[in-house]
A = this chain, B = another copy of it.
Amino acid sequence: MGIVVQKFGGTSVKNTERLFNVARIVTETYAKGNDVAVVVSAQGDTTDELIEKAKEIGDHPSPREMDALMATGEQMSAALLAMAIGQLGYPVKSLTGWQAGFETDSTYGNSRIRRVNVERIEHEFGKHNIVVVTGFQGINRYDDITTLGRGGSDTSAVALAAALKADRCQIFTDVDGVYTADPRLVKKAQKLDAITYDEMLELASLGAQVLHNRSVEMAKKYSVNLEVLSSLEKKPGTQIKEVVKVEKMLIRGVARDNDVVRISIVGIADQPGIAYQVFSLLASKKINVDIILQSIGRDGTKDISFTVSRGNMEQAMELTEELKESLGAQRVVCDDQVSKVSVVGAGMVANPGVAAKVFGALADANINIQMIATSEIKISVIIALQDSEKAMNAIHDAFFD
């Protein structure tokens, strides 16, 4: 008995059969004596269809109008899910973002939740109603509709759980939890019973694609008990919390990110201030640089390599080319056939053998490491794109076999 927030993504509510499946999960939770707030995304392809309609009108629709349009997707799925729950004989009300008290800033298309005013939801709980809330949306201080951007519904669920001081926040997806690696790439991947917020953050930003980063950050900030589980199979998922017993598991998972390209400036005159020139220029254009490697000077010149996402490749190349002369560099080269493979685990801080084990596994598999980056709970390597799957399996085998 307590307050439970349950979030269901677009595939979980994509048609009538799935809506009733969700309705059964929700009403079972309610029947156990819980207050239940459900957060839903738009059905299946609705969002894409709405984007298509907008594109027909013009390439650059007003972001404000885009949000008003997009918000209808969740309003539809919330009303339909409420109908399905009602059909099962339970008291229920759907609420839009503004009705549910989601107040955001004014950045249309990518707004942040400022506050959730849960007065209305608590009023409905008081009347023993199940509440279905539209994810992904809110209103700003002008009473205009805003949307939260990618992964927004996860963030809505966590923010709501925090505001309601919920006992649990369950994120239902089409996978049944967080794995030590993507099971489609690594056959021996294992489901984790639990993982820390920090580990999950590293895995999410590394492309594990289970939970959006912003939602995990918020869960960490407000100590929300998160759980990722399957909407189709009835079994425990993965808990995400502050502290997880390390046991024998040194690392928590292996992930890869193919949305990465490596740019190298070769043969730069070996003078101070070079790195500042390069990265302040990129930062001024809001280009996010991930891993940076600066070679040690030799023969009076040095090289700088860095990685950016594919979407930023062209602009980063242009900017770097502009700098080439003033840097006294010989040439700028780019490699888009690379991949970033990372191992994550809070346990590695206390165990210096992790890095060696990673490098050893890659060497045994005859995979060349181009760049290395480490943090307290993560080791990432840049390798050739064609080796990425082999690398993940080699590392996974080294730790979990």
Interface residue ranges, A against B (CB under 8 Å): 16, 19-20, 50, 53-54, 56-58, 61-62, 64-66, 68-69, 71-72, 75-76, 78-80, 82-84, 86-87, 92-94, 96, 98-99, 120, 143-145
Contact flag A86-B62 (CB < 8 Å), given A54-B80, A72-B75, A80-B69: yes
Listed A/B pairs (6) with beta-carbon separation below 8 Å? A16-B56, A58-B84, A62-B92, A65-B80, A69-B80, A72-B79
Residue of B nearest to A70 (CB): B79
Task: Give complex CA distance A171, B327 in Å.
Answer: 67
Instruction: State the copy count for this chain.
Output: 2
| A57 engages B80 (CB within 8 Å) | yes
A43 to B: closest C-beta gap in Å: 9
Complex Cα–Cα for A78 and B66 (A): 11
Within the complex, the shortest CB–CB distance from A353 to chain B, in Å, comes to 56
> Residue of B at shortest CB range from A120?
B143
Which residues from chain B contact A58 at a C-beta distance below 8 Å? 83-84, 86-87
A94 partner, pick from B68, B76, B92, beta carbons under 8 A: B68
Whether the pair B120, A93 counts as a contact (CB closer than 8 A) is: no
**Complex interface: chain B residues within 8 A of A96 (CB):** 68, 145
Residues of chain B within 8 A (CB-CB) of A120 are: 143
- A341 vs B236: C-alpha distance when bound (angstroms): 69
Give the dominant DSSP class at A's interface.
Answer: helix
| Pairs of residues from A and B, 7 with the lowest C-beta to C-beta distance, nearest first | A69-B79, A72-B72, A68-B79, A58-B87, A61-B83, A16-B56, A65-B82
B68:A75 contact, CB within 8 angstroms? yes
Closest to A68 in B: B79
Please determine whether B65 and A83 come into contact, CB atoms closer than 8 angstroms. yes
Q: How far is the CB of A71 from chain B (nearest CB, A)?
A: 7
Chain B residues with Cβ under 8 A from A86's Cβ?
58, 61-62, 65
CB-defined contacts of A19 to chain B, threshold 8 Å: 57
Question: In the assembled complex, which residues on chain B have CB atoms less than 8 Å from the CB atom of A65?
Answer: 79-80, 82-83, 86, 93-94
In the assembled complex, the Cα of A65 lies from the Cα of B82 at a distance in Å of: 7
Chain B, residue nearest A15 (CB): B56
CB nearest to A53 among chain B residues: B80
Q: Are B76 and A50 in contact (CB under 8 A)?
A: yes
- Given A54-B83, A57-B83, A83-B61, also A78-B68 (CB < 8 A): yes
Q: Which residue of the partner chain, among B56, B76, B144, contacts A72 with CB atoms under 8 Å?
A: B76
Say which residue of B50, B57, B68 sits within 8 Å of A84 (CB atoms).
B57
Separation of A86 and B93 alpha carbons in the complex (Å): 35
Residue of B nearest to A93 (CB): B64
Determine how close the nearest CB of chain B comes to the CB of A99; give it in whole angstroms: 6
CA distance A143 to B100 in the complex (A): 10
Chain B, residue nearest A84 (CB)? B57
Name which residue of chain B comes closest to A19, CB basis. Answer: B57
A16 and B79: CB pair below 8 A?
no
Q: For A69, give its contact among B76, B98, B144 (CB under 8 Å).
A: B76
A93 to B86, CA, bound (A): 35
| Residues in B neighbouring A20, C-beta threshold 8 A | 57
Q: In the bound complex, how far is the Cα of B98 from the Cα of A209, in angstroms?
A: 36
Which residues of chain B have C-beta atoms less than 8 A from A75's C-beta? Answer: 68-69, 71-72, 75
User: How far apart sit A93 and B64, CA to CA, in the bound complex (Å)?
Assistant: 8
